[in-house]
Amino acid sequence: MKTLIVDTSTGGLDYYNKPHQVAILRIKIFIHDKGYLDGSELKAEAFYQMLHDHPDMVPKTSQPSIGEVIQFFEDLYDKGYDRFFVTTLASVLSGTHNAIKLASEELKDKMEIRVFDTKTVCFSEGIFALEADKMLQEGKSLDEIEDRLTGMREKNTIFFAVDSLTHLVLNGRLSGAQAFMGKLLKIKPILQVQNTGHIVSVEKVRNIKNALSMIADKVKDYVNNRPYEAYILYTGNPGLHEHFVQTLRDELGLEGLYEAPSTPVVGAHIGPDVIGIGVFIKE
């Protein structure tokens, strides 16, 4: 059987320039009723420029239909692949994971599709796919890959800060009353992607620079003197980005980190004023 690793587009591998053989199943984003495929028909830089130019724009996202997922795998089957290991964004954040599971049942007599819920998003999700691809090239079995990724899933997190609450309100993630109080008190929430896939508020700070410093403290607490790897995730605010890079250098001694843009599908929900860090504890 010829095997291939697949990731959903929210993993950000379109922006990762080191070689890999991961195929990408793309989620759709709609702007003014026009649909785009995340990462191929709409790139992060162009999307965040759109949000900057049109701050009241409300993009919507849509998971691929079961029929579209089936067609995606049929096309790969025609290229000679008949076994797939699929890493997806957290199932609690999107129905994409379930759509792939349903498609795999439809196709089970023709090909093997194993679906793995990374329980995260952004480049953290992509890291799972890259690890699976590396192990596959080393000749590891799908069981070995799944065991390895299951262990990784318990030892990673994302902390991020939101400078503007506007987009969270426009997308219905935050009520108008909550946003009004947040703006009135100048609250900058710090959010964490937990290992269940849920995104929870872990702190509220009244200054974005303090919020970024608080994230550094959260990382220290999380890693607890264990060795770790990290990367920066961001949306479209270059000033916020530059300040965070300096904060990580000053407070954690981190330099030269990979910087991963959040894809348009992710940015549609959190807006253009987000910065954060993904952390993986080394085994």
The pLDDT tens digits of the residues spanning 235-277 come to 987 888 889 999 999 999 999 999 999 999 999 988 888 999 9
- What's residue 166's pLDDT? 67
Query: Tokens 């830089």 appear where?
Result: 45
Given a cut of 80, is residue 111 above it in pLDDT?
A: yes
> pLDDT per residue over 120-160, tens digit each?
999 999 999 999 999 999 999 999 999 999 999 999 999 99
Express each pLDDT in 203-214 by its tens digit: 888 888 899 999
Do 96 and 64 form a contact (C-beta atoms < 8 A)?
Answer: yes
Domains of the chain and any CATH numbers: 3-27+63-153 (3.40.50.10440), 156-281 (3.30.1180.10)
Q: How confident is the model at residue 169 (pLDDT cuts 50, 70, 90)?
A: low
Note the pLDDT tens digit of each residue in 67-100.
999 999 999 999 999 999 999 999 999 999 999 9
Q: How confident is the model at residue 186 (pLDDT cuts 50, 70, 90)?
A: low
The tokens describing 22, both together, are 């991961």
Contact 156, 195 (CB under 8 A): yes
Q: Which of 22, 225, 259 is nearest to 118 (CA)?
A: 22
User: Is pLDDT larger for residue 135 or for residue 194?
Assistant: 135
**Cα dist from 224 to 82, 155, 171, 196, whole Å:** 43, 12, 35, 20
